[in-house]
Amino acid sequence: MKRVVLAMSGGVDSSAAAFLLLEAGYDVVGVFMRHGEESVGSCAVANDEPNPLLPILQGRLDHKQGCCSASDAMDARRVADRLAIPFYALDLQADFARIVHYFVDEYTHGRTPNPCVQCNNWLKFGRLFDYADSIDAEFVATGHYARLEQVDGQPALLRGVDARKDQSYVLAGIDRALLPRMLLPVGGFLKPQIRELAAKAGLKVADKRDSQEICFVTSGKHGQFVRARSDKNTAGNFINANGEFLGAHAGIENFTIGQRKGLGIALGEPHFVIRINQDTNEVTLGTKDALDCDSLTATDANWLTDLPTSTFSSMAQIRYNSSAVPAMITPDGAHSFHVKFTYPATGVAPGQLCVVYRDERVLGGGWIR
């Protein structure tokens, strides 16, 4: 029986994934990734310990953590108990500090980060593989809505069947060499099917609401979160496209390209953030047509196929919640590429991931610069 380490968040998707893996005959080990502050119930892990998986203790998770709440941990434990699978907690606070630092640094430099992508790259399909190796587990699984299939004899990452829940975008940075060891059990289902399956399996999380916030920004106010962790003065001025003063703002970390709501300034007609200058802390506002962008450059590229060597036609997706649009992709070595949109794209934001697709397949991605 093949062993798999499953990241369990206490939500319906990872819980249903546990059931599906058991049904498929896997030896499932559930893992809850603890990212918050240490507490009396924290399972601290030293890098030199032979077995970094420690049992989670019932009744000891009585605080709100920086990422997942105590109630989420208990939901995951109850699912594991219901399915009779071993369940452990990993204290990844030190590792997760890297994601928080990245998040703060990007915003204070006028970019819009995507911490979920980096969590997948560094933790869920990074550190969890280290833990899987320590217990002789062949696979790591999550509840992401994406698929893994063989294409031309090689593992390929594809969009999930449920277009409204597809999460292939946030998996585009995964190391290609890890694809053969990844399992994504829910990617072939629609969300209502997953909820129905969880209900039939007797899992009480079947109707649990999906999380909508950045997991470690528990207040939902990312600007406030960034300011509390940075000593950089990012306050500055609003200007228009001609450089004329429009007003003052409290910090560039409050804004992203394409933003209209929450600007804190009235200009008589809808205005959008069209540029953020980290050197001057100026935020440029303009009308919606000023958001149109013909091209972009992406760096730190990650390819899930053989490295392209010439310009090719594809589909490019510039945000998790946006649609992929036709574009010509020109590689610039192994680590960067240029995108020329067939039609202007709206709201291209430095710091976000640009993911390149061919039909349903993820070819690769890079960070918009």
Catalytic residues: 119, 215
Residue 348's nearest CA partner among 109, 103, 112 is 112
Which runs of consecutive H residues, i.e. helices, occur in the chain? 12-23, 70-83, 93-108, 115-119, 128-134, 191-200, 222-227
The answer to whether residues 155 and 148 touch, using CB atoms and an 8 Å cutoff, is yes
The answer to whether residues 249 and 238 touch, using CB atoms and an 8 Å cutoff, is yes
Residue 56, classed as helix, strand or coil, is coil
CA atoms within 13 A on the CB side of 359: 5
Element (H, E) at 30: strand 27-34
CA separation for the pair 279, 122 (Å, rounded)? 29
What are the beta bridge partners of residue 345? 293
Q: How far is CA 213 from the centre of its chain?
A: 11
Element (H, E) at 314: strand 312-317
Q: Counting beta carbons within 10 angstroms of the beta carbon of residue 242, is it exposed (0 to 12), middle (13 to 18) or buried (19 or more)?
A: exposed
What are the beta bridge partners of residue 147? 158
CA separation for the pair 311, 298 (Å, rounded)? 14
Cα–Cα distance list, 159 to 22, 82, 147 (Å): 23, 30, 6
